[in-house]
Each structure stands twice: as C-alpha cells, then as structure tokens.
Structure 1
C-alpha cells in the first residue's frame, strides 16, 4: 500500500519475459488547524515572567486542501527471472495535491515531484534478496507502515500551518522516528516459517557523508486460527563527525495483532542522537522571545527526522493503536496515542522536549479502491529547560497545542 519495499502489483501487464506492475494513489484532504502558544512559569535573567496560559500568539482556523501522510504517487516496476535469479526494479514518483506546498499558495502556484524510490533487486527464495538504490529505510519502517494515519493526515505539519507540503506527519515525531527514503545496499533473508532478517548499509544523514549508517531488524509473522500478527526488533547506528562528534544509535521493538476485525499495535524505541525534536533556531534573540511571551513557534523545528539536530540527544518514544472494522459496513474506527521525547543540550537550548498526540479516525471503504476518511488530532509539544545566548537566559516551560480536523478521500489503483 505504501510502496514500501518492493514492486507492488496494481495494474499488471505482461511484456515478453517481464511482468510490468503499475500502481499508486491519489488523495486530498480538507484540513482545519487551530494552534495556541502557551508560556508557563518562565524566568528571564532570573526575574519571573509569571505563569500564564495562552500568553503567546494563537493561530485559529488555518485551512488547506492537500495530501495526507501518503503523498499522491505513481509507481512503475517490473520483474522477471533470469539465470535462476528473480530480478526487479521500481520507480515511484510522489507529489502533493496543493498548489502552494507549504505555508503560502499563490495564483499560478506550482508543485514539486519527488522520486522517493529508484532501486533494483535480485535474489532467490533459497538465499534471499539484495536491494540497491533508494527505498524506505529499515529502522522504524514497521512503525510507520502500521500507522492507521497512512490512510489520512494525523499531525498536519510543523508550526501553526495546516499545510503539509507533499506529505503531512501522521505520527512522525510523536510516536516514531521517520524511516525516510535512503540510498542503500540491503539484504532480506528467506522466510523461515515466518521469521526473517533484514540488514543494510545506508547513506549517512547529517554527517557530511563521512560515515555510512547501518540498520537491521528481525521480524516474525504468525497466524493461528483467526489470529494473525507480527513482532519485530530493530537497531540502527551511524557515526557523525563535525563540530560535535558522536554516534547515533538506537533500538526499536513492536508488535501488532488482529482478530476478527480488531487490531492492536504497540511500539517503543530508545537511543541517542536519533531525533530532531530539540532542533531550536540558534539565531533566536532571547530578549525578543521573552518580551513576546516566548512564542513557541520561534523555538521548535519539526520533530521525528533522523539525526536532525547535529547533537547527541537522548531520545525515546512509542505509540499504541487500536482499530475495529465494523462488520458488514467495513468502516474502520481507530484511536491511537503516542509521544516522542528528547533530552540534552542542542545549541542554545538545554533541557527536554516532549511531543505527544492523540488521534481518532474513521476510514470507510466506499469501494475496494476508494476510502473516505475523517480524523481528529490533538498534539502538544512541551519544552522544559533553559535558553542561553548573548548573556541572556530564559528558563521555564513552553508549550504549543494544536487541534486538527481532516476530511477527505484516498484512491488506490
């Protein structure tokens, strides 16, 4: 469904020795987002600024029409067997459905095309498959592929904007680290009665391309009577050298199970140097921030992007999700909660950032290809710690809360 790891059969066309697969999706959602900046218990250069709710700038009723967590996509791949090898390739083109992509659309606005998949595979069922090219990473992949908001929007965007460019966040940054689309050389083992391992060498992110990243996971798929499910355990490591030198490393563990329309997902990750939660703007004028009520919009970047700060933070998080497909109707109702946490010193900030969200959704299959979607998301990001720059110091707790309502449809072909 998400063009995750191999050519997906949509429209199948025989072409000589090859079988060509064409598939993709188109989706669009109306999204309304309201955001409040809140300052609480802050002190500026040792003097109390008092405690206040909604002391910052509120952003009510930001509206957009655009894509959800899955960008609109068109994919083409092909496969064949030659010299006792299964060989295949995949190209997938992703784009948004809004004109302005992010914060502002203008007359004559345009869009961008993002080729997230361009890879080849070769192998055999007896010894496994090798992949070379750009595809979804290994670490965290099961977390995002198990997220119900793949059919919807989830967290709409960073900051107060409702627009998400060519993709919203789902629960990226509030439950898991984005697996991302990475250049890689990877291997997947044969399926041994439900058990498989995958491992790969990845292009390094945010490290000046000095060192490669390494990712691996083990999965076990099971089925007994009406119960099916999967459990997985993964790991990641990447060295970063520069102004600060450190090694990003982490593990994740998760599982999902389904029974007669009920579904349950549980996921947890932990590590160091993984997340961009505390990616504060180093050029922030502390004095200006204090006088303006320490507007949180000026302080925090988008969370959930791997190694996004260039600093070794302590990172952890996870999410739980429950779904139920209504018998006869087919409508899937879902609810989930997740959070991501980062602690440490990043530039001018020392402290902790917590990003949590609650999501409620309804996903109705109008046909086997077309789903209607309605979601409500509440997100709160809280920073506790000290900002110090130019001899000034701002200490306390800052938070931003957003409520997002999304209505739309997604069509797979």
Structure 2
C-alpha cells in the first residue's frame, strides 16, 4: 500500500468515525487520550468557461470568461479533536471537527467593510460508545446515504469541478469534487447511529436522523432513516470494498405529502497498483446535489448518476482517470444532464505532504448550456 493510499484511508477513517486516527497525541495516560488532526489544502486554478447567458433560454447568447484563483479544493480545511477513554468494559470516544474555507477573501467588498468572512462549519460533533456488540454514535456526523460513494472517490484529496452552473467559479466555499456529477453530498446531520462489529468483512450501519422539511410549516411524523451495508476484504493481493446504502423519509404540508427515497452503491477493486472504482445512485424526491438537504417539493423529481474511475500507483506517484454523470427528470422530462471528466496526478512527498495536478472538463446538458475547463495545481498537508 503506497503512502497516498494510506493517506486516503486515514482521511476516510476520520470522516467515517473510525476509532483509529492518524493524529498528533496531546495527552495519553494509558487509559484516556486526546489527539488532534488537521488538513490544509490550497490550489492555484485557471478556468475557461463558456455558458448561456440564460440557462433557461437555449437561444440566449454564449458568455465566455477566464478566471484565475487561489482557493481550496474539494475538502475544506479543518482541525479535529479526538477523545478516547475506557470504563466498565466500554470504550467511550468523541470527535469535534471545525471546517473552514480559503475562498472568502474577495467576498468582503460590501457595506460590511473590510476583513474576511470565514465561517466555521462544525461538521462533526459526536460521541461514540463501543463494545463487543458494536458502536453507537450520538451527535452530528455525515449521513449514511452516499457516504461511501464520496469516501471512495479517487479524487477526494483533489480539486474537482467548478461549473458556473452552480456558481462555483466565484464560489466562496469549496469546489464540488464529483457532487452533482456522480453522487449527492451526505450533509452532516443530527443522528443516532448503530454500527455492528466487523462480521468477517461485513458491517451494517443503521441511523435515525433529524428529518428535512419540504416547507417551513411542514410536519414530519417520523424521522429520516438511513442505512448502509458494506463488505471489505483482501484476497491474496486483491483488495475489495463493496457497499449498498439507502435513505427514506416523508414530509407533508398543506400541498400534500412528499415521500423521499434513495438507493446507492458501489465497488472498488485494487491489485498490483491498479484500482477500479464504480459507484451509482438513484433517488426520488431528493436533490441531485445535496440529497434531502436540498428541499424537494414533489416526488416527480427523479435523479440518477454514476461515477467510474481508474487509478495506477507506482512509487510516489498516483494517476487517476475519472468520469461522472448525473441526470435529473421532473414529471418524466429530463431537465438536467451534468457530467465531469477528470485527470489527476498525485505526488507523495512524505506522509504529511502531497502535491496535486488536476484537469476537469465539465459539461451541462451535453455542453449546450455550459462547457468549463479547469486546471488546478496545489498541495495537501495533513497531520
């Protein structure tokens, strides 16, 4: 396993609430410990964009512009703190992480005056209870639906697409990775989630989560339910990870009731430095970008997408080819097709520093609405 793959797995473990973190130990008395971990990434990007002045009018003129920026990539920068202790046969843990962007430095030209406007986004703040029977997570963490789709993305530590269709070229937050072009984003949610112990490679997670509302006055008789079953194993020199996840909830107001459901899954195989990764999803009454956190008022909204990737690692290098596609239909009529093709090179300098070069080609509605080319070079620092 190369250093970059180790870094990917370490980051995935952090986001997936694993009890094992690569971090800097602040305190450890043999029973209780406190540690911290950190990620900083920064990219120089150059984008060339052609899009319709009015995306709803196919006869409107095409608008072209080039934009250079110094910004973060797909992942926000964050610092996290981990707490662990053992008492009465139970392992008690907790994690808090605070996420920030660098992309706010040109957003302060207003009556509010000078100074940046970095917001602290608390995406994780939870406690865990572990025993022989598994784990219970209590608090705020990423959702289960689409979780592994995003964590197995070969470009997780990269830059990703910055289509102007979603306002990403000048966006004050992150680039999008493959969100909206292959998977939806599992927004952090208040939850109570149970995970089984490792059962010969299998693990099941079931979560009861705070539901989303279709309107300010809507009512939700039941919580949102999300789940995932995964299988991870290694056969001689062949590594395998497969997973299936889902979500369901309903919300009703005076306009009626909307049932929202989604199913996702994927598989990743790696051998002799090569890795193939494929994932997909299909939803009804959910958003194509942010799942239930994007308010959908009709079950007639249907989305489906897939992500196909291949990578090769040798020495300190890792090369990745990626293609993702998402289609959205409303009342049986296709209203959006969004795809992103990418090539990336990762060079591992050491366990704490990775250099990245990346190209993304994004098209909306097969390029008839927008074509966007983005080049990015940058560095990722982790502790």
1:339 aligns with 2:325: yes
Partner of 1:235: 246
CA distance in structure 2 between the aligned counterparts of 1:154 and 1:214, rounded to whole angstroms: 30
Q: How does 1:339-358 map to 2 (within 5 A)?
A: 339-345=325-331, 351-358=334-341
Q: Report the CA distance between 1:11 and its aligned residue.
A: 0.7
2:174 alignment partner, SS class: coil
Partner of 1:197: 204
CA distance in structure 2 between the aligned counterparts of 1:157 and 1:134, rounded to whole angstroms: 29
Residue by residue over 1:384-413, the C-alpha shift from the partner in whole angstroms, topping out at 9 and shown as x without a partner, is: xxxxxxxxxxxxx95222111111111010
- Higher Cα radius of gyration: 1
1:162 aligns with 2:169: yes
Partner of 1:246: 258
Residue by residue over 1:43-88, the C-alpha shift from the partner in whole angstroms, topping out at 9 and shown as x without a partner, is: x8xxxxxx86xx5342421222111111101000111111111110
Contact map agreement 2:107 2:117 (CA 8 A) in 1? no
CA distance in structure 2 between the aligned counterparts of 1:341 and 1:370, rounded to whole angstroms: 36
Partner of 2:269: 257
Partner of 2:22: 9
CA distance in structure 1 between the aligned counterparts of 2:86 and 2:118, rounded to whole angstroms: 38
Match of 1:24 among 38, 45, 49: 38
1:270 aligns with 2:282: yes
38 and 72 in structure 1: CA distance in 2 versus 1, 3 angstrom threshold: same
Aligned CA RMSD, in angstroms, stands at 2.6
- Scaled by the length of structure 2, the TM-score of the pair is 0.86
2:162 alignment partner, SS class: coil
Query: Unpaired segments of 5 or more residues in structure 1?
Result: 45-50, 277-302, 384-396
1:310 aligns with 2:297: yes
Residue by residue over 1:111-142, the C-alpha shift from the partner in whole angstroms, topping out at 9 and shown as x without a partner, is: 11111100000021x20000011111111111
Contact map agreement 1:273 1:307 (CA 8 A) in 2? no
Query: Unpaired segments of 5 or more residues in structure 2?
Result: 1-10
Q: How does 1:2-401 map to 2 (within 5 A)?
A: 2=12, 3-6=14-17, 8-16=21-29, 17-38=31-52, 55-100=60-105, 108-124=115-131, 126-156=132-162, 158-159=164-165, 161-207=168-214, 208=218, 210=220, 211-242=222-253, 243-276=255-288, 303-306=289-292, 308=294, 309-312=296-299, 313-326=301-314, 328=315, 330-345=316-331, 351-382=334-365, 399-401=369-371
Partner of 2:3: none
Partner of 1:406: 376
Residue by residue over 1:196-241, the C-alpha shift from the partner in whole angstroms, topping out at 9 and shown as x without a partner, is: 1001011112435724210111111110111112111111101121
CA distance in structure 1 between the aligned counterparts of 2:106 and 2:260, rounded to whole angstroms: 31
134 and 92 in structure 1: CA distance in 2 versus 1, 3 angstrom threshold: same
Partner of 2:6: none
- Scaled by the length of structure 1, the TM-score of the pair is 0.80
1:149 alignment partner, SS class: coil
Partner of 1:392: none
CA distance in structure 1 between the aligned counterparts of 2:321 and 2:63, rounded to whole angstroms: 27
CA distance in structure 2 between the aligned counterparts of 1:174 and 1:121, rounded to whole angstroms: 33
307 and 88 in structure 1: CA distance in 2 versus 1, 3 angstrom threshold: closer
